[in-house]
Amino acid sequence: MRTKIFATLAITLAALAAAPAVAHADPHHDSIRYASIKSCADKDEQPRPCGGWRLVMHSGEQMTLRDAQGVALDAKGRPTRDFPAPIAVSGNGQRVAYFTKTGRLALRTLGGGVTLLPKDALPRVGQNEMTLVLSDDGGRLAAVFSNKPRATLVFDTATGDRLGTLPSDLGLQGFSADGDELLATFEDDESVTDLIVYSDAGERLHRATPPQVVAANGPQALAADGRTVANLVQGDKPELVLYDLESDQVTDRKKIKLPVGDLDMIDWTGDTQVTLHLTRHLSNSTKVTIVQIDTRTGAATIRDRYTVLKDTFVFAACGG
């Protein structure tokens, strides 16, 4: 599963997929569409993040995370000016992970309380060198480091306990639909890409070298079974491709019809449903279309459309 941050500055977050039992974007129960931070011009007229993180809800309501760090701090605690602090929204839109202004890693439940992870949960690195990835329900959190090679850390957000680690030379794609596993990629010196599945405790479960139709068309999403991978082949005739890591076989290919937009997120949101987040970066706006695909038939249904706040420097959308 995965999450992405999109806009003027691109920050990688893995896609966040959803477990079948969780309802997504239920109009009767408000949830977070995306988190946004405002763009301001510096003295050289260059855009930079400013202010605090804002949560934009499906209802249209907006709220500011007043305890959240907005601009990222470096390893010595100094503002970086050019980078927003990391943030992640769970796939079901009910939880958000972020750094508080006191430097603690926090998980906030919509309409509920805030859980703080231990002070020593993370190594001392700059916030601009870190990406946060939440599972669909926010029960698992991964911290990925981009500067020096460091192991990815996986936490139980209910207890704050570290569950396991993933090797530092992997590219995290995200959690499985039920949050029990993580999907990662490994590229060797010959540009061969492997897909690897780990348990949330850091145990390696599956590893395979998929065909190019899978390896060259990321991002990929992992189903709740911990072995079925979905990815999208884009172009004039897009296809949804399903691949089984255990048997190392492409198990299905479905031609699908999609609205205009670039793929930013792909998530499993049911046993036979994959959800895509498509974005269009226009001259004065960013538009997002969320499409649900029936993996049995290839039928596509538009679940949601929205336009990101015009003053946004960067935003983090929920997965699923």
pLDDT of residue 5: 44
pLDDT of residue 319: 77
Print the SS3 string covering the chain. CECCEEECCCECCCECCCCCCCCCCCCCCCCEEEEEEEEEECCCCCEEEEEEEEEEECCCCEEECCCECCEEECCCCCEEEEEECCEEECCCCCEEEEEECCCCEEEEECCCCEEECCCCCCCCCCHHHEEEEECCCCCEEEEEECCCCCCEEEEECCCCCEEEEECCCCEEEEECCCCCEEEEEEECCCCCEEEEEEECCCCEEEEECCCHHHHCCCCCEECCCCCEEEEEECCCCCEEEEEECCCCEEEEEEECCCCCCEEEEEEEEECCEEEEEEEEECCCCEEEEEEEEECCCCCEEEEEEEECCCCEEEEEECCC
pLDDT of residue 78: 95
pLDDT of residue 189: 74
- The domain spans of the chain are 5-317
pLDDT by residue (tens digit) across 232-286?
Answer: 999 889 999 999 999 999 999 999 999 999 999 999 999 999 999 999 999 889 9
Residues of the chain short of pLDDT 50, as ranges, are 1-28
pLDDT of residue 247: 96
pLDDT, the chain, mean: 89
Q: What CATH number labels 5-317?
A: 2.120.10
pLDDT of residue 159: 87
pTM: 0.88
